[in-house]
């Protein structure tokens, strides 16, 4: 039990340190479709993504719609090259979109967000996902 808690604590610390690369900057993206993040359905519009290093999470919000969601990345993959731009990556199943990854310009990290229950159910039914990319800007 103590070992599991230590491993979890180390994972959270490393996640927070990696998210600190985003610093005080905010990623902005115009998302043209409704989507799901952290089991919450949210509307299309201008979305901002800000890191919360202390908790190792992203604060994702749409100020116009007055909607905000916290999401903690499950996996941070290292890529060989640095991202050329900021992007939000979505999985599309028929006409439903799920935010799955966040890539930050200049970073080698890919932040994979947890799958929602609905997306997991669609995958279990062998529904094919198509990857949709929305280019964002670092502000």
pLDDT at residue number 106 = 84
Domain locations along the chain: 2-138
* Cα maximum dimension of the chain: 46
pLDDT at residue number 16 = 40
Closest CA to 132 of 3, 51, 34, 5: 34
pLDDT at residue number 12 = 39
Place of tokens 């800007």: 137
CB 102 within 8 A of CB 31: no
Q: What is the mean pLDDT of each run of 10 residues along the chain (139 residues)?
A: 36 40 72 95 96 82 93 78 87 96 87 94 95 89
CB 83 within 8 A of CB 105: yes
pLDDT at residue number 119 = 97
């Amino acid at each position: 039990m103590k070992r599991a808690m230590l491993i979890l604590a180390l994972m959270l610390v490393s996640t927070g340190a990696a998210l600190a690369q985003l610093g005080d900057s905010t990623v902005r993206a115009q998302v043209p479709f409704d989507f799901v993040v952290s089991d919450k359905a949210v509307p299309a519009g201008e979305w901002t993504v800000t890191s919360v290093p202390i908790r190792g999470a992203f604060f994702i919000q749409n100020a116009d719609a007055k909607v905000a969601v916290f999401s903690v990345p499950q996996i941070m993959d290292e890529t060989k090259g640095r991202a050329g731009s900021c992007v939000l990556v979505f999985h599309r199943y028929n006409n439903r979109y799920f935010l799955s990854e966040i890539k930050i310009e200049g970073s080698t990290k890919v932040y994979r967000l947890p799958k929602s229950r609905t997306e997991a159910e669609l995958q279990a039914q062998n529904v094919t996902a198509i990857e949709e990319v929305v280019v964002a800007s670092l502000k």
